[in-house]
Amino acid sequence: MYLLKKGKVPLQAHVAIPEGLCEEEHGRQGFSGPVSHLYRIHPPTGWVRIEGPLRPRAFACSALATQDLGSSDGHPAEVLRSPDGGLFISRRATSMPYFVRNADGDEVHFVHAGQGRFETDYGSLPYEPGDYVVIPKGTTYRVMVETQPSLFLIVESEEAIRLPERGLLGQHALFDRGLLAAPELDGGPAPSDQAGGETREWEVRIKRRGEYTRVWYPFHPLDVVGWKGDLWAAKLNVRDFRPVTSPRYHLPPSVHATFQAGGILISSFVPRPLESDPEALKVPFYHRNMDYDEVLFYHRGNFFSRAGIQPGMLTLHPQGIHHGPQPQAVEASKGKTHTEEVAVMIESRRPFVVLPEFEAVEQKDYALSWSRS
* Binding-site ranges for Fe ion (CB under 5 A): 294
Min. distance of Cβ 258 from Fe ion in angstroms?
A: 16
Min. distance of Cβ 294 from Fe ion in angstroms?
A: 5
Q: How far is CA 282 from CA 17, 146, 148, 188, 286, in A?
A: 11, 40, 37, 51, 12
Which SS3 state, helix, strand or coil, does residue 169 take? Answer: helix
Measured from the CB atom, the residue of 275 and 294 that comes closer to Fe ion is: 294
250 tagged catalytic: yes
Measured from the CB atom, the residue of 174 and 316 that comes closer to Fe ion is: 316
Do residues 282 and 23 make contact, with C-beta atoms less than 8 angstroms apart? no
Min. distance of Cβ 37 from Fe ion in angstroms?
A: 15
Q: Where are the alpha helices (DSSP H) in the chain?
A: 67-70, 191-194, 327-333, 356-359
Catalytic residue among 14, 75, 250, 256: 250
Cα(356)–Cα(80) distance, integer angstroms: 9
What DSSP assignment string belongs to 263-330?
TEEEEEE--EEPP-STTB--SPPEE--TT-EEEEEEEES--TTSTT--TTEEEEE-TTS-B---HHHH
Cα(269)–Cα(255) distance, integer angstroms: 10
Cα(255)–Cα(207) distance, integer angstroms: 34
Min. distance of Cβ 269 from Fe ion in angstroms?
A: 11
Q: What is residue 190's DSSP assignment?
A: -
Min. distance of Cβ 295 from Fe ion in angstroms?
A: 10
Measured from the CB atom, the residue of 312 and 325 that comes closer to Fe ion is: 325
Residue 187 half-sphere exposure toward CB, CA atoms < 13 A = 4
Measured from the CB atom, the residue of 64 and 345 that comes closer to Fe ion is: 345
Say if residue 293 carries a ligand binding annotation: yes
Residue number with the shortest CB distance to Fe ion? 294
Cα(368)–Cα(356) distance, integer angstroms: 22
Say if residue 365 carries a ligand binding annotation: no
Say if residue 299 carries a ligand binding annotation: no
Do residues 87 and 153 make contact, with C-beta atoms less than 8 angstroms apart? yes
Measured from the CB atom, the residue of 156 and 294 that comes closer to Fe ion is: 294
Measured from the CB atom, the residue of 294 and 341 that comes closer to Fe ion is: 294
Q: Give the residue from 146, 149, 128 showing the smallest Cα distance to 235.
A: 128
Backbone angles phi, psi at 279, to 5 degrees: -90, -15
Min. distance of Cβ 104 from Fe ion in angstroms?
A: 28
Q: Which residues are catalytic?
A: 250
Residues marked as binding for homogentisate? Answer: 323
Annotated binding-site members for Fe cation: 287, 293, 323
* Residue numbers belonging to the annotated binding site: 287, 293, 323
